[in-house]
């Protein structure tokens, strides 16, 4: 099996759990309350901002021109996507300056972002790349699985369309090849690449939980006293 197939198979549980997650199901079926979608979008804007910065750090650590070009272009295009989000979705959902100024990452988002910074700052570039990969890969899988769903809300349809596009699938193909190239050239990094990929896939699931429960820093999970 190729390296990308091995890491993906190991993460099967996270993929399956995302596919049937009430947030994802609600989104593709159009039953998701707009409050949850708005919360998700606002948290995602923070996530995208940091994802782009992390790619820029990866660019600065690149050893080849090809790597450099890939990371710089990815950082630029995600920054552009983030700006577009503010221009369109934020406007549509009436997310104003005040609401944006008060925005802080929810716990699960914070954990995921910190995990990716840790990868790019303290690990090798192949390990950082593996940590960044579940993000496009999982979303591409969801887009493909639900490409024929047509929820009535335009924002939900746009979301599905974005991640089920051919360009997005082609881009993922290049990313899988990069993963395999890194794996071939850095056999000593295999264990960590796998571990960081799994951790990111776990955090992707926690991101759905966060948006479904409107997670915040004030309320802890209530446990019954024995």
- Dig out the tokens for 9 from the structure: 């198979």
State the binding string over 61-100 for ligand VIB (x if CB under 6 A, else -): -------------x---x----------------------
- Name the residue nearer to ligand VIB (CB basis): 104 or 191: 104
- Please tell me whether residue 143 adopts helix, strand or coil conformation: helix
* Distance in Å, CB of 226 to ligand VIB, minimum: 36
- Name the residue nearer to ligand VIB (CB basis): 45 or 183: 45
Q: Give the integer Cα–Cα distance in Å for 111 and 60.
A: 23
**Stretch binding ligand VIB (CB under 6 A), from 13-21, 25-33, 86-94, 132-140:** 132-140
Residues 17-56 interacting with ligand VIB (rule: CB under 6 A) = 44, 47-48, 51
Query: Residues touching ligand VIB: how many (CB under 6 A)?
Result: 11
Nearest to 16 by CA among 208, 161, 177: 208
Nearest to 112 by CA among 29, 193, 54, 57: 54
Residue indicated by tokens 């019954």: 224
Q: Which of 82, 123, 204, 215 is catalytic?
A: 204
- Select from 71, 139, 159, 202 the one that contacts ligand VIB (CB under 6 A): 139
- Name the residue nearer to ligand VIB (CB basis): 1 or 154: 154
Which residues have C-beta within 8 Å of that of residue 98, sequence separation ≥ 6?
none
Q: Give the integer Cα–Cα distance in Å for 57 and 68.
A: 10
Which residues have C-beta within 8 Å of that of residue 126, sequence separation ≥ 6?
182, 183, 185, 186, 189, 193
Which residues have C-beta within 8 Å of that of residue 135, sequence separation ≥ 6?
51, 200, 204
Residue 204 falls in the annotated catalytic set: yes
Residues 175-214 interacting with ligand VIB (rule: CB under 6 A) = 204, 207
136 contacts ligand VIB (rule: CB under 6 A): yes
Active site residues: 135, 204
Residues in contact with ligand VIB by CB under 6 A are: 44, 47-48, 51, 74, 78, 135-136, 139, 204, 207
């Amino acid at each position: 099996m190729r390296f990308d197939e091995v890491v993906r198979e190991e993460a099967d549980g996270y993929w399956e759990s995302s596919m049937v997650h009430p947030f994802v199901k609600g989104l593709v079926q159009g039953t998701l309350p707009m409050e949850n979608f708005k919360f998700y979008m606002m948290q995602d804007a923070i996530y995208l901002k940091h994802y782009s910065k992390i790619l820029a750090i990866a660019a600065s650590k690149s050893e080849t021109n090809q790597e450099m070009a890939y990371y710089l272009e990815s950082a630029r295009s995600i920054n552009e996507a983030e700006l577009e989000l503010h221009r369109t979705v934020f406007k549509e959902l009436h997310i104003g300056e005040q609401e944006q100024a008060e925005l802080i990452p929810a716990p699960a988002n914070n954990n995921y972002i910190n995990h990716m910074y840790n990868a790019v700052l303290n690990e090798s570039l192949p390990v950082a790349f593996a940590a960044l990969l579940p993000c496009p890969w999982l979303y591409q899988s969801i887009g493909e699985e639900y490409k024929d769903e047509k929820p009535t809300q335009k924002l939900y349809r746009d979301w599905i369309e974005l991640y089920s596009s051919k360009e997005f699938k082609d881009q993922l193909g290049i990313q899988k090849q990069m993963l395999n190239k890194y794996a071939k050239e850095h056999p000593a990094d295999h264990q960590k690449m796998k571990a960081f990929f799994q951790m990111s896939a776990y955090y992707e699931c926690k991101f759905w939980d966060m948006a479904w429960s409107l997670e915040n820093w004030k309320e802890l999970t209530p446990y019954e006293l024995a």
